[in-house]
Amino acid sequence: MAKSTLQSIPVSEGQSIELKIDSMAYDNSAIGRYKDFVVMVDRGSPGDYVKASVTMLRPNYARAKITEIEKFDPAYRIDPPCKIFKVCGGCQWQHLSYEKQLEQKDLLLKKFFSKLNLEDGVLKNIIGSDNPWNYRNKVQYPVRTVADTGRLKAGYFEWHSNDLVNIKFCPIQHNVFDQIVETVRELSPKYNILAYDGKKKTGWLRHICVRIGINTNEALLTLVAVNESLSKSQEFAKEVMDKHPELVGVCININTKTTNVIYGDKTKVIKGRSYIFEKINDLKFKISATSFFQVNTAQAVKLLNILENYAGLTGQETILDAYCGVGLISIFLAKNAKKVLGIEEIKQSIDDAVFSMKENNIKNIAFVNGKVENKIEEALSEEKADVVVLDPPRIGCNKKVLEAIAEKNLKKIIYVSCNPTTLARDLEILNLKNYKIKSIQPVDMFPHSYHVECVVLLEN
């Protein structure tokens, strides 16, 4: 950092300062200013007057940790129901009233999209959840072994840390997860289940993953491990399933990689089956152990209804569903379309999509396995789509995909995004290619976190 830059920063690391918090940031912090210099305060809340200790400096901002809350606004700050909220990195905004969480997300989105020069009324207010608690239908816990007991710790990492928080109760996820994970903890010494240590290359288990169909009550336990060898695996699976009748299967997913990717390519069924079913309205969906599905089932229904409204289908349209996953959007829209083509890179998700299509007796969908950027030009050449649905991962769309759509001069795009940063980038590209942003509808898929989903309608 240049000397002149250092001299322009009015705080130093370790310094104690007094601040008023003005708004939330797009992470676990809130924003205040010290002598007009931005300070991001961990677990802060708008309306707070705090004493804080500076923990990190950057040229344009500092980070600080609250040492004392001198005054707070009770309309914003509440007591979080989770006792370990202050240390757990699983969610970030539980200390805000839900009404104010929605308000702050609306303000953040206005900032994200400010460069797009949207017309009045294009950006809608966020659609909140009817019940912002116990909504998560999937949990993925990394694990550690406690040396003196042999029991497993399982939970989320602390914010900005590799220290693991042992979670016994989480109010934002389905309550059956707490019970199933606790059973795995209890049984770990009996079946010699040790956490894998990446540095020492010892142990076996990397993650405990559980998912449930909210409307079917079918649950699935997946142990992500470095190999498929678990001593007395049948006895273990039977003991867990006998204790938890919601479980329809216990699996081992094998991941030998050294990356942060949770799942490996191979899944072995120990007992039962390797998938659950979920119902959305009158449709039935197969969801395998490693397949992606929206984590908030109730809010997913609202999102699908928005999509259907934006699509404006008459029964004569051809839809291209890029990044189609297990076929949730494809199958939901197919009933009012002439034809749907879904493209998805992950083979297991395509297999699930095909299974669900047949299970629902739908015959006007074709699914293609491959990267969207490699398949989209061919797909668009075969038959011109009337509606393109983009639902990419957090990194957003490959630029090649956006260019292929623009080159074909397609009339309508519906973009579903869980990351406003990459969404704003991609919308700017489409805007420059003569696509007009007609509507942006945020949906709160992730209460008590800073994350937000948006559904965007663009027309040429």
Residue in 88, 91, 397, 418 annotated catalytic = 418
| Residue 404 pLDDT | 94
Annotated catalytic residue 324: no
- With beta carbons less than 8 A apart as the criterion, state whether 413 and 434 touch: no
Q: What is the β-pairing status of strands 283-288 and 318-322? A: unpaired
| Residue 17 pLDDT | 98
Q: How far apart are CA 251 and CA 232, in angstroms?
A: 14
| Residue 87 pLDDT | 92
Residue 141 has pLDDT above 50, yes or no: yes
Read off the tokens for 114: 């400010």
| Residue 2 pLDDT | 44
Over residues 7-33, the mean pLDDT reads 94
Which pTM value belongs to this model? Answer: 0.94
301-323 pLDDT tens trace: 999 999 999 999 999 999 999 99
Over residues 276-291, the mean pLDDT reads 97
Residue 355 has pLDDT above 60, yes or no: yes
Over residues 262-274, the mean pLDDT reads 97
Over residues 246-262, the mean pLDDT reads 94
222-236 pLDDT tens trace: 999 999 999 999 999
| Nearest C-alpha neighbor of 195 from the set 166, 216, 238 | 166
38-81 pLDDT tens trace: 999 999 999 999 999 999 999 999 999 999 999 999 999 999 99
Q: Which domains does the chain have, with CATH numbers?
A: 3-77 (2.40.50.140), 102-130+296-459 (3.40.50.150), 138-280 (2.40.50.1070)
Q: How far apart are CA 409 and CA 362, in angstroms?
A: 29
Over residues 410-424, the mean pLDDT reads 97
Q: How far apart are CA 238 and CA 187, in angstroms?
A: 12
DSSP string, 328-354: HHHHHHHTTSSEEEEEES-HHHHHHHH
